[in-house]
Structure 1
Amino acid sequence: MVVPVPVREVMVHDVVTVPPEAPVSEAIEQFRTRNIGSVVVESEGAVVGILTDSDLVDLLASGGSVAEHSVADCMTAPVRTVDIEAPIVEVSATLRDAGIDQLPVLEGERLAGLVSVAELSAYLPQCVLRQVEAHPDADREDWHYEYQDEGAEGLTVGDRVRFSKVVDEADIEAFARISGDENPVHLDASFAEGTRFGRRIVHGMLAASLFSAALARLPGLVIYLSQDVRFLAPVDIGDRVRVECEVIQDLGHGRYRLSTTGEDESGEQVLVGEAVVLVDPLPTDEAAPAEASAET
């Protein structure tokens, strides 16, 4: 489970709205001048639809003319919405199940904001944009976990947790879209050939994010407080990255300091650093430690 953060704490408050009878050209102008990817469609104070950049692409792909259509002709309706108090975990599940990447947020019947994958990704690293399809072989069977407990109850100095996965092309594309880090050394093979690396490489922060996956397997409700990291060597796309986190100090009051290290498929150390986490008791004794994780 995750810390129950309500969507009101992460949503965008400044939402652009248009009436359904507005010409599509008016919405496009809002997209251009406000640098946004959607507008919420309201009629008499009620949310009746949403118009996204994907809807506009569909209109143009079908041969439709922007000049001849109103927003009502191409908006997505009826529109899914979410309550302002809904936990962000439920919101992310709604986005995933519906195959969409943004939702209007309502307070009662009134529009209060908009939430998208971009906002949720800062809190829930499992969020990915719907345009990115995972590689068919990149499923969770390829994720390897191991927890080494020193024997004392709860988390103690010496406990270790390990995680590994293959960082593949789908991961690179998803991370670039979510983070906005479109450095061509990660995405453009021709450009990357001319760099000191001579080939495309994995985003450093993508590789480092595997520390979070490992820490999520510690017993208790694990909340990140800090992480420092040094990047020692590049990681090749398609390599299996292995990380290990070891508890090296009990700081008291549920706080622990851990060493964090990572190596590539050949065994070369590529990441090194330290993390500090806060570990709260699980809400119920029946919850499995492997399912408890959270980030602030």
Structure 2
Amino acid sequence: MDMLPVGTRYQRTHTITQAEINRFAVISGDTNPIHIDPVVAATSRFGRTIAHGMLLYGHIRAALRILAPQAVQRTQTLSFTNPVFADDQVTIEVEVIERQETTIRCAVSVTRQDRKMACSGETELEIRA
């Protein structure tokens, strides 16, 4: 199967808005004030609201779906190294780094506009015909 050789990449940019963070809080049930309350968040070590890590993962998963729509995700590891704030523009990137007969392994990342890595990791996808 020649689809998705090593080095295949998908990348897109997206601006994370406070409205998006607020919607994710409602959907996920994670209404921690660090995400949705600017007054409380201003007193935190971040100084303002931050996006949920799983909101960032959702953007990664969407990118994987575009890269390999026929695939099923088997594993995912993520490290969160820098916060994403409301109104940050992020780049979501996925790249095939290993290919087997029915699986691919991808590097995944979300990078802020200041080029600081917000999260990164690897995922394994099973390719289904």
Q: TM-score, normalised by structure 2?
A: 0.92
Map of 2:8 onto structure 1: 159
For the Cα contact (< 8 Å) 1:193–1:199, is it kept in 2? Answer: yes
Aligned to 1:268: 116
2:73 aligned residue? 224
Identity within the alignment, %: 33
**2:127 — aligned with what?**
279
Q: Which amino acid is 1:231 matched to?
A: F
Shift of 1:185: 0.3
Contact 1:232 1:270 in 2 (8 A): yes
1:260-292 CA-partner distances (Å, limit 9, x unpaired): 1110122211111001111223xxxxxxxxxxx
Q: RMSD between aligned alpha carbons? A: 1.5
Task: Check the 8 A contact 1:257/1:276 in 2, yes or no.
Answer: yes
The residue number in structure 1 matching 2:61 is: 212
Q: Look up the equivalent residue of 1:269 and give its one-letter code.
A: M
Could you tell me how far apart the structure 2 residues matched to 1:169 and 1:195 are?
17
| Cα drift, residue 232 of structure 1 | 0.6
CA distance in 2, matches of 1:154, 1:244: 18
Give, in angstroms, the shift of residue 219 of structure 1.
4.3
Task: Determine the C-alpha separation between the residues in 2 that align with 1:264 and 1:225.
Answer: 27
Q: What is the number of residues matched between the two proteins?
A: 129
Rg (Cα) greater in structure:
1
Q: Which has the higher contact order (CA 8 A, sep 6+)?
A: 2
SS at match of 1:216: helix
1:146-225 to 2 correspondence within 5 Å?
153-225=2-74
Measured against aligned partners, the alpha-carbon deviations of 1:93-141 in whole angstroms (never above 9, x if no partner) come to xxxxxxxxxxxxxxxxxxxxxxxxxxxxxxxxxxxxxxxxxxxxxxxxx
- The letter for the 2-side match of 1:277 is L
3-state SS of the aligned residue for 1:209?
helix
Q: 1:220 to 1:202 in 2, by over 3 A?
A: closer
The 1-side partners of 2:69 and 2:24 are apart by 28
Report the alpha carbon displacement of residue 153 of structure 1 after superposing the two structures with TM. Answer: 3.5
1:51-97, Cα deviation, whole Å (9 max, x unpaired): xxxxxxxxxxxxxxxxxxxxxxxxxxxxxxxxxxxxxxxxxxxxxxx
Residue ranges of structure 1 left out of the alignment (5+ in a row): 1-151, 282-296
Secondary structure of the residue aligned to 1:273 is: strand
Does the CA contact (< 8 Å) of 1:157 and 1:249 recur in 2? Answer: yes
Q: Counterparts of 1:93-132 in structure 2 under 5 Å?
A: none
Q: Could you state the TM-score of these two structures normalised by the residue count of structure 1?
A: 0.42
